[in-house]
Structure formats: C-alpha cells, structure tokens
Structure 1
Amino acid sequence: MSINEEKNIRKTNSIQQIRYVCAIAAMHSASAIPRVIPITHCGPGCADKQFMNVAFYNGFQGGGYGGGAVVPSTNATEKEVVFGGAERLRELIASSLTILDADLFVVLTGCISDLVGDDVGSVVKEFQTQGVPIVFAETGGFKGNNFTGHELVTRAIIDQYVGDYEGPRERASVNVWSLLPYHNTFWRGDLTEIKRILEGIGLKVNILFGHESQGVSEWRDIPKAQFNLVLSPWLGLQTAKHLEQKYGQPYLHVPVIPIGAKETSAFLRKVTDFAGLDTAKAESFIEKEEATYYRYLEDFSDFYAEYWWGLPAKFVVVGDSAYNLALTKFLVNQLGVIPGKQIITENPPEEFREGIREQYRTIAEDVSTNVEFEEDSYIIHQLIRKTHFGHKPPIIFGTTWERDLAKELKTSIVEVGFPTSYEVVLSRSYIGYRGALTLLEKIYTTTVGASA
C-alpha cells in the first residue's frame, strides 16, 4: 500500500479488522446469565451478526440457553422507521413470554429504535407492572462498543430488577465483576477458576455470569454481599461505584487478573486482607495450590532447560486490556520473557488510561514497558513491523487478525482474544493456578510445533 493510500485510509477514519462490536452485543452479557434471555429491538440481522461475530467465530463458544438462534428480534424495517416500532416490540415481548421460558428477559435496543425515539421504557414498564421479570437497556451502536453495552445491561438489571435493599450484609461474601462474557474467548473457564480460588480462601462468591452462576438468584443477592471485587483494569468499575452509591457497598479494585502462582497468591492475600478473612485458612489453601503448581512446573523445567535456545526471548501482546496486562505480567515475572510491544485494542475510556499505563511502567521490580492504545489493525500491524526485536522475531499473543502477520515475521502466534477463529473453546482457562499450566502447554506446544 502506498503512502498516499495510507493517508486516505486515515482521513476516512475507517478501522480495518475491528476488535469489538457495537453496544447491542451486550445481549451476550444477558444470555451469559443462566436462564436469562435477551430480546433485541433492532434492524434485521443485527442480533445474528452479534452472535456469529462474538460467540461463534470466536472460539466457537455456542449460544447457550438464551443466546444465539434463541434471541427474539423485532427485525425493524422501514415501517418501524416511519411509524415507530413500539407496537412491534410490544407484540414481540408478548409472543416471547408465551413461547420462551426464562427467569428474566432483557430488552436491548439497536440504532433504529434509538434514533427514531421509540419509548421502549414505557413498553417494558407495561409488562413490569404485570409482574413480568423484564428490564431494558438502550444500547444503540452510537452509545459505544460492547464493553459500554455490558455496563448498561448490568446497571439495568441492578436498578430495574434487583431494586432497593436495606437488609443485613452477609460477611465473607463477594460479587465479582471481571471479564466480558463471550468477547473474552476463555471467560467461562476463567470465571470458574476465579470462583474456585476465591471459595478456597473462604468466600461465598456471586460469580454472576457463566455456568458456575446460580442465575438471577445471585443477582438478587448482590446487595447482601460484603463487598464487590473488580478484577480487571477498568471494566466493572462503573458498576462497582454505582453499587457503592446505591447500597453503600465497598469495593476492591485489582487491575491485574492473576496468572500463575506468584500473581495468584498475591491476589488472594490482598482479597483476604480486604475482606478480613481467616488468614490461616487462606494461607493453607495458597500453600496447597502452590505446591501442586510448582510440582508441575518442576516437570516443565526439564523441557525449558533443554530447549531454551529455541524459545522466543521477546513477546508481543495485542488485545483487550484485561488479558493484555495479565499476560504481560505473567510472561515477564514468571517466564522471564522480554516485552516487545503491547497494544490495547478495546478503546478504554480516557479516564482509565493513565492508570493502565502505570501498571505497565511497574510491570516488575526491574522491568518497565510502555503500552499503546490502538483499534485499527492496519496501524497495529505497522507498529509491530516497525519495532526492532533483535535477531529473532517475538512470539505473538493476539487474535486471528495477526495470523498473516505471524507468517510474515516467521514466528508463532497464540490466539488469546477476539476474534479467535482457529480455536474451539469449551471450558479452557488461562488464569489462576490451573489456567497458567494450560497456558504454558499452549505456548510451548505452539512454539515446538512451529519449529517442526
């Protein structure tokens, strides 16, 4: 591509190979809650495209009980644009209640309904006054991406379904706000591991999303929890602050999702201290988990010592901030690999970016690195091409969009984010104690396979 063509692309503000979708994709945040079904008030094909992009060609995760092909949609046409789609939505909700069995319905709006000004709140309220468990969130594409939509949906459920609460708190209980369901390819296995290790130190855990969640009963119990845990660089912080204001609940923000024994043990000790848990019980669990982890790592060390000369010395991470930061921390501190280029792709709100940058500046006691925020794959790949990595190319932790780049650089790639179209993901996890071992297997199986 010529320089002039590159300038023209920048002038059009186009983004090549997008790494997120629009706000209505928060339908996946709704369907990630057991027995919750989203209802979409949008144009024809919108809901299907969200499913195919986020849940199918991203680990082939499937739609679950209430997602995928199950999701009802108004499929708004020119008629709804001219005359409004409120009546069409009313008919769809009534039909959905007749056909579908759910504990909660979540109505999400698309660009058409938001632009023409359909009073979705009034339509939904008609059903709410009849005792129907249903809420709504305005998630037109111009509101932002699916990270923004996620916060809108969680707040809608809290305010419209959970409601007010002035009862007692349950000590040693926590609500967890962490990975974005479905967008993060490994969210199901990761949330399972997060719940397991938090229960191991003595907490009752409302994991809220995924197969380990108890569904809407957990959401009903949100106000009863002792505190909220935000386990991500920024996603969930707005929700936690809202809960602090609404219920007076404190929250603990841990920006780095833990991978490996060192980071996971430090994380658990921080939570133990914040929640005032039994230190002896927590340390007993940590000691047991570390012993198992390091036994496997000892076995791995024979391979690592023998093949060190053929393994990558530097790495690149391209993806959303949650996994980007977690992987960088693990690779530097646990494996001693050198950070080459870190690029965050989900367009975090400006207010959180400096805090994220600071995490990279202090990635280890003796290691500091910079991070860049970029959404356009063309620019991302140019940045990587122009980076000098020494005599050997880095291993790339990225997405399907980086596969051709990896071939060009003659290096290996581990797909760790949206879209991940060359992995089938069921319950795999890359975090915590157990997930780190799986990640090690994946990294070095990929590396050895590439050299064969």
Structure 2
Amino acid sequence: MTLIDHASIKPAAAPAKTNSIEQIRYGCAIGAQQTVAAIPRAIPITHCGPGCTDKQFMNLSFYNGFQGGGYGGGAVIPSTNASEREVIFGGGERLDELIDAALKILDADLFVVLTGCISDLVGDDIGGVVSPYQKRGVPIVYAETGGFRGNNFTGHELVTRAIIDQHVGPYEGTRDADLVNVWSLLPYHNTFWRGDLTEIKRVLEGVGLRVNILFGPESKGISEWKAIPKAAFNIVLGPWLGVATARHLEAKYGQPFLHVPALPIGANATTAFLRQVLAFAGRKRRSARAEAFIAEEEARYYKYLEDFSDFYAEYWWGLPAKFAVVGDATYNLALTNFLVNQLGLIPGKQIITDNPPEEFRAGIVEHYRHIADDVSTDVEFEEDSYTIHQKLRATDFGHKAPIIFGTTWERDLAKELKGAIVEVGFPTSYEVVLSRSYVGYRGALTLLEKIYTTTVGASA
C-alpha cells in the first residue's frame, strides 16, 4: 500500500474540483462479500470480473487489521472470474456451473450469490439461475451488487435484505419478549467489529435480554437469522447504517425498532444506552437485575479510571488538548462523544467519510452541535483524502500537538503536524486486530490504553 506525501506537493493554485477520489475509504457494493463472510458458515459466490473478489478481501480484511478470511471468505470464495466471453454471450451458464460445483465441494448453511459490474451491465438473469436451486431446497440467495450501485455499505443493506426476503421468509408465529436483533457496525470494514459486537451482546445480555447479534464469533449463524422475526424488536446502533433494514423488518413483520444514533463508548454512554433499551422494551419488572449489572460494570470501570488518574495528573502537560476524527459516521460520532464528554478534549476537526444518505445528514450534524452541554462542533462530509488532508492542515490545533483518530492514510500527515495517530478505521494497516473492542465498558478502557500509549510513544 503506497502512501503519498502531500507535504512535498506545492500546487501553484487550488485545483479545480473533480469527481475523482484519492485514497479511497470504502469498497464497492460487491464488498458485501465480507458481510456474508461475517456470518458463521455462510459462503459468498461472486459473479464478477477477475480480481474483484480478491481485491475486496485484501482491502477490507487483510490490509485492514489483518483480520483474515474466516470460514467462508478470503481464498474460499468461488468466483466466475467473468471474461470477454461472458460479456458477449452472457454469464448465466458460467454461474450455474460454478454454483453446482460449489455445492459439491463446499459445506455451508447458506450461499449468497453476489454480482459485479460485468454481470449487472450485460443484464444476466441472476434470479433465473438461482431460483431452480431455491426450489430444490438449496439454502441460497442472491443480491445484485454491481459497483455502480454504491459502496460496500450499500451492498451490506442489499445482502441483509436478500437473506431476509429469500431465506428467512414469512413468519406468522409469536414474539419472544426477551429477544432482540442488533444492527450496527459494518463487518470487516469496521476494523474492530468482532470485539465491538461481542461487547454489545455482552452488555445487553447483562441486563436480561437475549441477542441475535447476527455477525461474528458470537453469532449462532443462520439459525439466528431464521430467528429474526421472533424478536420483540430491532436495535439500530449507529447514525444510519441498518435503518433501512429495520424499516424493512417493520413493514414485513410489524416489528418495531429503536434507533440509537451514538455507539456507546465508556460508562456514561453505555449505561444511558442500556437504560434506553430497557425503557423501550418495557422491562421494569427486571430493573433490579439490570441495575445490579450496571452498578457492577460502572464500579469496575471507574476503579480502573481511578488508577489511570495518577498518570493523567502527572503527565497532563504532555497530553494533547485537541483532536480530529476522520472516519465513518458510526465511529466518528462515538469517538467524538467519548473524547469530549469523558476526557474533556477539544474537538478540532470531524470529517465523515462513508457518504451517508442525504436523509440522515441533518440529524448527524445536529448531534455534533449538541455533543455536550457546553460544547458544540461542526462535522463535514468528505470522501477524498486530498481534500481531507488539506482541511486538517488548515485546522488550528493550538500550541499542543494534536491527536488524530483516522486511518493509515493519515499517518504521514500526523507526522507532518507533529501529532499522534490512532488508526480507528479503514484502512488500518499498522494494527493487527483479533478481538479488540473500543465500545462499551470494557472497550473504552482498551481505547484509553491505546490513546495514551500512542501519545507517550509519539512524544518520546
């Protein structure tokens, strides 16, 4: 992965605005193969050009925390590797052969066929190819995810809807008052999604709920997806991703949903999140158990913070006062909220990079304007790294070195600004990530360790 040192580039005049994006921060829609790979014992089958599948895996998984391929990702993924022949004559027959071979060789609870630009542009009838297998009882669905349809966030929503409509299907049974579905982080794209979803599930179960977490090592796989209609309600945890899925479930099953825009980091935010969920669930009868869990978690959290305060008090002169966050809306809002309200840092620049739908942008902006009782800040939406870096260079971070929460693309810039860098989003190419989490009670402590270990190291 080559990084460009913009410090050496001195344009004579500001360049004209173009439609190009330098140093991209997401994949294309077929990157939703990673959504499938995140479901235990699910395998994607891609109908796309040569290299598309490998590039999505290498970018979204390998060079992003070195996350690995899992059971059904990476080198496991079957692909048609469509060529000129498929462009001219169509690739339906080639896809049918691939599916038939995959069923003979691979063992999975669900196969998900994903299309790339070639098949979508030539108009291959993917439903016509997949339908006969579905009629035979084969657990297989399809989603049209050509790159021109959007980025991998778009592809993620297309895949979740395809599984719900084609595999979960209609439901006429009763609801389980203790069961909830969680829709939150984008698997693999969010570098810490595995640990974060584990912590979200842990705290929700701690207050007496049972959780369909749907993705990652804590999910039971397709059986959880089949149980989606049985849940009492859905939780959308983040500014926008998952809202479309929750709306669809509300229309399909009459299932209500709770939208919590800010992913909780730290005791205050996590406790507030849990109480909001319990209030929505009407769980007063179990409030004693929930409050006991919350009290225990908070006591443990603040005991660690008490010990941390010795370092903070002695080393305050060497710590950053202002910060910048560059990343997707979910982590950007969560980190800004934590850094302002828990650590008392001053927001310098916040830039959201995942191109949220227009309908959500005004609401996202409003959260930043009321980030704390006495703190208001602005947020910008930008996808191009050149423009992002120019904005960061123009930011007044005061007389202290800033700390930047960003990606590998910001490493050289952080050195230029004589600041510290904490990689928190795609691409994160200087971190090996297994089960690390930055959310909830436990994740916040890990985040504090990372922030101040990085800060001390940068000042050495």
TM-score normalised over the length of structure 1:
0.99
Counterpart-to-counterpart distance in 1, 2:133 and 2:120: 20
Aligned length: 450
Q: Which digits, 9 at most, give the CA deviation of each residue in 1:81-103, with x for residues without a partner?
A: 00000000000000000000000
Alignment correspondent of 1:93: 99
Displacement of 1:192 in angstroms is 0.2
1:396 paired to 2:441 = no
Name the counterpart of 1:327: 335
Match in the other structure for 2:357: 349
Q: CA shift at 1:279, angstroms?
A: 1.4
Counterpart position of 1:64: 70
Q: Which residue of 2 aligns with 1:378?
A: 386
Shift of 1:5: 7.0
Hey, what's the Cα distance between the residues in 2 that align with 1:4 and 1:237? Answer: 45
Q: Does 1:212 align with 2:218?
A: yes
Alignment of structure 1 residues 156-195 onto 2, 5 Å = 156-195=162-201
SS in 2 for 1:316: strand
Deviation at residue 317 of structure 1 after TM alignment: 0.2
Deviation at 1:387, TM superposition (A): 1.1
Q: Counterpart of 1:42?
A: 48
2:205 matched to which residue of 1?
199
Indicate the SS of the match to 2:189: coil
Q: CA deviation at 1:7?
A: 2.1
Partners of 1:7 and 1:138 in 2: how far apart?
Answer: 36
How many Å separate the matches in 1 of 2:11 and 2:443? Answer: 44
Task: After superposition, give the CA deviation of every residue in 1:205-251 in whole Å (9 maximum; x if it has no partner).
Answer: 00000000000000000000000000010000000000000000000
Give distance in 2, aligned partners of 1:162 and 1:419: 33
Residue aligned with 1:307, SS: helix
Alignment of 1:421 with 2:429, yes or no, is yes
Q: Does the C-alpha gap of structure 1 residues 82 and 6 become closer, same or farther in structure 2, counting only changes over 3 Å?
A: farther
State the alpha-carbon separation in 2 of the partners of residues 3 and 94 from structure 1: 55
Cα distance in 2 for partners of 1:303, 1:201 equals 33
Shift of 1:126: 1.1
1:302 and 2:310 matched:
yes
- Give the secondary structure class of the aligned counterpart of 2:259: strand
2:4 is aligned to none
Which whole-Å CA distance do the structure 2 matches of 1:394 and 1:339 have between them? 10
User: Aligned partners of 2:179 and 2:371: how far apart in 1?
Assistant: 30
Partner of 2:254: 248
Aligned position for 1:439: 447
**CA shift at 1:3, angstroms?**
4.5
Q: Paired residue for 1:105?
A: 111
Aligned amino acid, residue 411 of structure 2: R
Is residue 237 from structure 1 mapped to residue 243 from structure 2 by the alignment?
yes
What does residue 130 of structure 1 align with? 136
> Aligned letter for 1:370?
D
Task: Summarize the Cα distance change of 1:5–1:30 in structure 2 as closer, same or farther, 3 Å threshold.
Answer: farther
CA distance in 2, matches of 1:3, 1:394: 25
Aligned pair partner of 2:21 in 7, 11, 15: 15
CA deviation profile, 1:105-155 (whole Å, cap 9, x unmatched): 000000000000000001000110111000000000000000000000000
Distance of aligned partners of 1:303 and 1:31 in 2 relative to their CA distance in 1, 3 Å threshold: same
Distance of 2:343 and 2:428 partners within structure 1: 24
Shift in Å, 1:281? 1.2
Query: Aligned with 1:297: secondary structure?
Result: helix
Question: Is 1:407 aligned to residue 397 of structure 2?
Answer: no
Q: Find the aligned partners of 1:5 and 1:409 in 2 and give their Cα distance.
A: 22
Q: CA deviation at 1:393?
A: 2.8
Amino acid at match of 2:313: A
Aligned-partner SS, 1:263 = helix
CA RMSD of aligned residues (A): 0.8
SS in 1 for 2:15: helix
Q: Which runs of 5+ in 2 are unaligned?
A: 1-8
Q: CA deviation at 1:6?
A: 4.7
Q: TM-score, normalised by structure 2?
A: 0.97
How far does residue 158 in structure 1 lie from its aligned partner after superposition?
0.1
Which whole-Å CA distance do the structure 1 matches of 2:189 and 2:84 have between them? 31
SS of corresponding position for 1:258: coil
SS of aligned partner of 2:422: strand
**Correspondent of 1:369 among 359, 369, 377:** 377
Separation in 1, partners of 2:93, 2:15: 47
> Secondary structure at the residue paired with 1:381?
helix
Secondary structure of the residue aligned to 1:375 is coil
Q: Give the % identical residues.
A: 77
Q: What does 1:17-32 align with in structure 2 at a 5 Å threshold?
A: 17-32=23-38
Residues 297-349 of structure 1: per-residue CA shift (max 9 Å, x gap): 00000000000111000000000000000000000000000000000000001
Determine which of 70, 78, 97 is the counterpart of 2:84. 78
Partner of residue 438, structure 2: 430
- Given the superposition, is the C-alpha separation of residues 303 and 143 from structure 1 closer, same or farther in structure 2, using an over 3 Å criterion? same
Q: 1:273 aligns with which of 250, 268, 279?
A: 279
1:7 alignment partner, SS class: coil
- Secondary structure at the aligned position of 1:64 is classed as coil
Distance 1:40 1:289 in 2: 44
Give 1:19's aligned amino acid.
R
Residue 44 of structure 2 aligns to a residue whose secondary structure is strand
